[in-house]
Chains A and B, each alone.
Chain A
Amino acid sequence: MFVLTLFTRIVILVLAAASLNLIMGYGGMMSFGHAAYLGIGGYAVGILAQEGFGSGFLQFPVALAASAIYALVIGALSLRTRGVYFIMITLAFAQMAYYVASGLARYGGDDGLTVYKRSDFGGLINLSNRTQFYYLCLACLLGVVFLIWRIVNSRFGMVVQGLRSNEQRMQAIGFPAKRYKLVCFVISGTLCGLAGALLANNTDFVSPAVMYWTRSGDLMVMVILGGMGVLFGPVVGAVAYLLLEELLSQVTEYWALIMGPLLLLVVLFGRGGIMGLLGRLNRG
């Protein structure tokens, strides 16, 4: 039982990391506010449930749309900057979302909001059944990874990766850079909103804490650990990170003391993350 919940949580966070990889790994946009979408997706489910709209057919589209709109606004503003400023401004917006959620007294404020009833998809699928819910999350993850795979090999994906590599050159050959980056930013945010809606169902709870900057940091670490701009990088990275966290925290409560140096080692010696390391081992 516990294992299934843990696995479901891992699958959902892998989905979030995969969405971050699209902008961070492929697009070169270092967003330090990606956890905001986990919260937006989650609150869309939680608030609608509390207001008596239990249907998943309503909750999920609203979660995705809200994330997309947030991404559009934040992206339009943040993409005027680059480098460290982009990191800082995405972080600032996510922290704003965090404090806004904390201030929602009607919806639990700081303490968060319990989701008493999971999203209702009629007779189609029962989210309260752990096994069914797990497979739903897994199907969502596979769908998203497949979608990202198609995107990065499409015309659009080539442009986005070209912009990561050399924006000036891309403009010189005729691409309006910002437009493509913004669309990529919105797709990524929307996909992470899906993860948020699933996460709220998994924990039956949503609170401002899911948007806190450390959670954004966790997602970044997962992507970097696995290998940026590699399709399965975030999958490997997130699984490794979450399992390590789980195992180490059973051994000692000071698990972060072991985790920290481990991450440092991977970043220092494993350029390209775990996938990079595996690739090099393969080539001998």
Chain B
Amino acid sequence: MADPLLRVENLVRRFGGIVATDHVSLDVAQGELHAIIGPNGAGKTTLISQLTGHLTPDSGSIYLGGRDISHLAAYRRSALGLARSFQITSLLLDFTVADNVALAAQAHAGHSFSFWRNARKESALRTAAQAALERVGLAHRGGVLVSRLSHGEQRELELAVALATKPQLLLLDEPMAGLGVTESARMVKLLQELRKEVTIVLVEHDMDAVFALADRISVLVYGRVIASDVPSAIRQNEDVKRAYLGDQQVVTAHV
């Protein structure tokens, strides 16, 4: 088997006494859509943040295409082809839709120590931005301020921004968060298209979406990976059932 695109080895991250990431190991193969699920507080976002470089792990290593990236800054990982979307939408709200995406393209088209030429007139950047917006169905909204977009559109824009960096690996932190039924369905369809081109790590609560999309699923509970397998095996897995069922018992006990 070829080297996995992303390899995580024995990753540990503590916050005070809490072990948010507890010796997590994980392989994501080229071209696969790998979902990470788990109850609230399982440490999914903490894990993603370490992958993107927004948090540094206490120990363990992360390899992208065989290269150790555990201690690279976020912007360097982006240059190597790692892109992320944020669980809580994180965009340039006072910029237009097109400018948001064009900046992402600009970050990967040479340096930006250019002080004179009008960046909005660089056709290469505009074309790249337009292409990414078309992918997510926002092409007609290019001139609108991001703060005026609906929540669903902002989620789509998050994707377009990530795509415009031409990633090898896309880390999506709950792209369906806060979406309605129709919007979710559109997002699932969109992801089904994208997975043909790019390797995706998907953190998601929406189980229908996860089981519809994932090639493999890793289940995170209290910072530990308790199972990592194809969807059908995950469904049957006793530990997973217990983890989710256990949670429900906690919930019902409070009622």
CB within 8 Å of B: which residues of A? 150-151, 153-159, 161-162, 165-166, 168-177, 180, 183
Asked whether, in the complex, the Cβ of A173 is within 8 Å of the Cβ of B165, the reply is yes
Q: In B65-92, which residues have CB < 8 Å from any A CB?
A: 73-75, 78-79, 83-84, 86, 90-92
- Find chain B residues with CB under 8 A from A157 CB: 115, 119
Asked whether, in the complex, the Cβ of B92 is within 8 Å of the Cβ of A166, the reply is yes
Q: A168-B90, A176-B73 are in contact. Are A154 and B119 (CB under 8 A)?
A: yes
* Complex-state Cα separation, A158 to B125, whole angstroms: 12
Q: A171-B74, A172-B52 are in contact. Are A162 and B103 (CB under 8 A)?
A: yes
With A162-B92, A165-B95, A166-B90 already in contact, 20 other A-B pairs whose C-beta atoms are closer than 8 Å: A151-B116, A153-B119, A154-B117, A155-B114, A156-B114, A157-B115, A158-B120, A166-B91, A166-B93, A169-B92, A171-B54, A171-B74, A171-B78, A172-B54, A172-B84, A172-B86, A173-B104, A173-B162, A174-B165, A180-B112
Interface size class on chain B is: 35 or more
* Complex-state Cα separation, A154 to B122, whole angstroms: 10
Task: Name B's interface SS.
Answer: loop
Q: How far is the CB of A19 from chain B (nearest CB, A)?
A: 15
Asked whether, in the complex, the Cβ of A174 is within 8 Å of the Cβ of B78, the reply is yes
- Find chain A residues with CB under 8 A from B103 CB: 158-159, 162, 170, 173
Asked whether, in the complex, the Cβ of A153 is within 8 Å of the Cβ of B118, the reply is yes
Q: In B104-128, which residues have CB < 8 Å from any A CB?
A: 104, 106-108, 112-120, 122
B161 at the A interface (CB under 8 A)? yes
Nearest to A187 among chain B residues (CB) is B115
Partner among B108, B113, B118, B120 whose Cβ is within 8 Å of the Cβ of A174: B108
Q: How far is the CB of A229 from chain B (nearest CB, A)?
A: 9
B134 at the A interface (CB under 8 A)? no
Asked whether, in the complex, the Cβ of B112 is within 8 Å of the Cβ of A155, the reply is yes
* Complex-state Cα separation, A169 to B54, whole angstroms: 10
* Complex-state Cα separation, A1 to B250, whole angstroms: 84
Nearest to B161 among chain A residues (CB) is A173
* Complex-state Cα separation, A159 to B108, whole angstroms: 13
Asked whether, in the complex, the Cβ of B92 is within 8 Å of the Cβ of A155, the reply is no
* Complex-state Cα separation, A171 to B92, whole angstroms: 12
Nearest to B93 among chain A residues (CB) is A165
Chain A-chain B contacts (Cβ-Cβ < 8 Å), number: 97
* Complex-state Cα separation, A267 to B113, whole angstroms: 34
Asked whether, in the complex, the Cβ of B92 is within 8 Å of the Cβ of A150, the reply is no
> Closest 7 interchain pairs by CB?
A174-B78, A174-B107, A165-B92, A155-B112, A155-B114, A173-B104, A171-B74
Q: A172-B52, A174-B75 are in contact. Are A156 and B112 (CB under 8 A)?
A: yes
Asked whether, in the complex, the Cβ of A172 is within 8 Å of the Cβ of B119, the reply is no
Q: How far is the CB of B98 from chain A (nearest CB, A)?
A: 12
- Find chain B residues with CB under 8 A from A155 CB: 106, 112-114, 117, 119, 122
Q: A153-B119, A154-B115 are in contact. Are A171 and B73 (CB under 8 A)?
A: yes
0 or 1 for each of B176-204: is its CB under 8 Å from A? (1 = yes) = 00000000000000000000000000000
B174 at the A interface (CB under 8 A)? no
- Find chain B residues with CB under 8 A from A174 CB: 75, 78-79, 104, 107-108, 165
- Find chain A residues with CB under 8 A from B102 CB: 158
Q: How far is the CB of B247 from chain A (nearest CB, A)?
A: 31
B99 at the A interface (CB under 8 A)? yes
Asked whether, in the complex, the Cβ of B112 is within 8 Å of the Cβ of A173, the reply is no
Nearest to A151 among chain B residues (CB) is B115
- Find chain B residues with CB under 8 A from A169 CB: 86, 90-92, 161
Asked whether, in the complex, the Cβ of A177 is within 8 Å of the Cβ of B75, the reply is yes
* Complex-state Cα separation, A106 to B152, whole angstroms: 67
B239 at the A interface (CB under 8 A)? no
Asked whether, in the complex, the Cβ of B93 is within 8 Å of the Cβ of A171, the reply is no
Asked whether, in the complex, the Cβ of B78 is within 8 Å of the Cβ of A173, the reply is yes
Asked whether, in the complex, the Cβ of A168 is within 8 Å of the Cβ of B120, the reply is no
B94 at the A interface (CB under 8 A)? yes
Asked whether, in the complex, the Cβ of A176 is within 8 Å of the Cβ of B113, the reply is no
Asked whether, in the complex, the Cβ of A183 is within 8 Å of the Cβ of B113, the reply is yes
7 A-B pairs with CB atoms under 8 Å apart are A155-B117, A155-B119, A165-B94, A166-B92, A166-B93, A170-B107, A171-B73
Nearest to B121 among chain A residues (CB) is A153
* Complex-state Cα separation, A155 to B113, whole angstroms: 7
Which of B79, B106, B120, B162 is most buried by chain A, counting CB atoms within 10 A of its CB?
A: B106
- Find chain B residues with CB under 8 A from A153 CB: 118-120
- Find chain B residues with CB under 8 A from A180 CB: 112
Nearest to B120 among chain A residues (CB) is A153
* Complex-state Cα separation, A153 to B122, whole angstroms: 11
Asked whether, in the complex, the Cβ of A175 is within 8 Å of the Cβ of B75, the reply is yes
- Find chain B residues with CB under 8 A from A161 CB: 95
Q: How far is the CB of A193 from chain B (nearest CB, A)?
A: 18
- Find chain A residues with CB under 8 A from B84 CB: 172
Partner among A150, A154, A162 whose Cβ is within 8 Å of the Cβ of B95: A162
